Amino acid sequence: MNDFSGKNVLITGASSGIGLAMAKDFANRGANLILTARSRDKLLDLANKLKGEGTKVHVFVEDISLSGSATKLFNEINEAGLDVDLLVNNAGYGRMGNFDECPMEDYENMIHLNITSLTELSYLYVKKMAKKGAGGIINVASTAAFFPIPYSAVYAATKAYVLSISEALHFEYSRKGVHIMAVCPGATESKFIDIATERSERLKERFKKGNKTKNGQGLSKVQNAEDCSKEALDAYLKGGIYVITGRSNKILYTLSRFFTRKANLAWSGKLFKKIAG
């Protein structure tokens, strides 16, 4: 895929954060959009704005954290006669705090959204793409995919899965004309912090305070969603298998490779304990 002009792009979690930024970015690059999220009003507002700027937009309201929802969405899009050239699995969320503080039901929903629905949509669409010999999938992982993250253990584990399956599927399907790439952002301006810490105002304030500061290289810890999207889409067009967005995140990952897993665990545990402990 040399550019996105005229391509039909399906984006999950398109009503806010990185998904919203990607929707606008794809539209600016000439793509047609198929948007899905739980928030009908936000999706319709976005669709109306983009349509006013000349973009073809279709909206499907769906909560893909629920069992069977991914297949339901796939069937609804097929019934509408829409072909998908590029799938963007962006929908996901995390929690912060001690492992036993979060209800098991919440973890189950998180795992279903971050892993099961992503896998299901990838499975359904990669078959169609491979059959026609063209298409692609962008899976939004996280820099958390590279480290075990105490006090956000389940979230980090789900993102490690996303990175792993993306790389493996890229190897399987690139020879069939399907390009699969993972995006690994760090802290990004979005509603992630509010959702991850919604059960504790203490955690929310600690996290926000920590990310207003600069890191050791004098770089902002928080990247805006628009810059994240631009880096991701540019990397996809260049044939990337995964991309770490944000200069400070790239530096952090590079430095981490000089240390043992034990040392990286000690570092991440100490950092997140300051927030959640």
Sorted by sequence, the CB contacts under 8 Å of residue 238 that are 6+ apart come out as: none
Domain ranges of the chain: 8-276
What pLDDT was estimated at residue 216?
A: 42
Please report, as a single letter, which amino acid is at residue 189: E
Rounded Cα–Cα distance for residues 17 and 46 (Å): 13
What pLDDT was estimated at residue 192?
A: 53
Rounded Cα–Cα distance for residues 107 and 208 (Å): 23
100-119: b (≥16 Cβ within 10 Å) or e: eebeeeebebbbbbbbbbbb
pTM for the full model? 0.89
Tell me which residue of 189, 199, 122, 113 sits closest to 158, measured CA to CA.
113
What pLDDT was estimated at residue 187?
A: 76
183-207: b (≥16 Cβ within 10 Å) or e: bbbbbbbbebbebbbebbeebbebb
What pLDDT was estimated at residue 80?
A: 98
Rounded Cα–Cα distance for residues 57 and 4 (Å): 14
Give the C-alpha distances (Å, rounded to integers) separating 211 from 98, 103, 216, 266, 275: 20, 26, 13, 20, 11
What pLDDT was estimated at residue 203?
A: 54
Which CATH class for the 8-276 domain?
A: alpha beta
What pLDDT was estimated at residue 6?
A: 97
Rounded Cα–Cα distance for residues 269 and 277 (Å): 10
Rounded Cα–Cα distance for residues 67 and 116 (Å): 9
Q: Of the residues 93, 125, 155, 242, which is catalytic?
A: 155
Which residue stretches of the chain are H helix?
Answer: 17-28, 40-52, 69-79, 104-111, 118-132, 153-173, 192-196, 201-210, 225-237, 247-256, 261-276
What pLDDT was estimated at residue 220?
A: 43
Catalytic site includes residue 155: yes
Low-confidence residues of the chain: pLDDT under 70: 189-221, 277
Q: How do residues 219-260 score in pLDDT, each as one tens digit?
A: 346 789 999 999 999 999 999 999 999 998 999 889 999 999
The helix/strand/coil state of 114 is helix
Phi and psi at 237, nearest 5°, equal -65, -25
Q: How do residues 178-208 score in pLDDT, each as one tens digit?
A: 999 999 998 776 555 555 445 545 555 655 5
Give the C-alpha distances (Å, rounded to integers) separating 224 from 20, 21, 185, 189, 191: 12, 9, 10, 5, 12
What pLDDT was estimated at residue 211?
A: 53
Please report, as a single letter, which amino acid is at residue 16: S
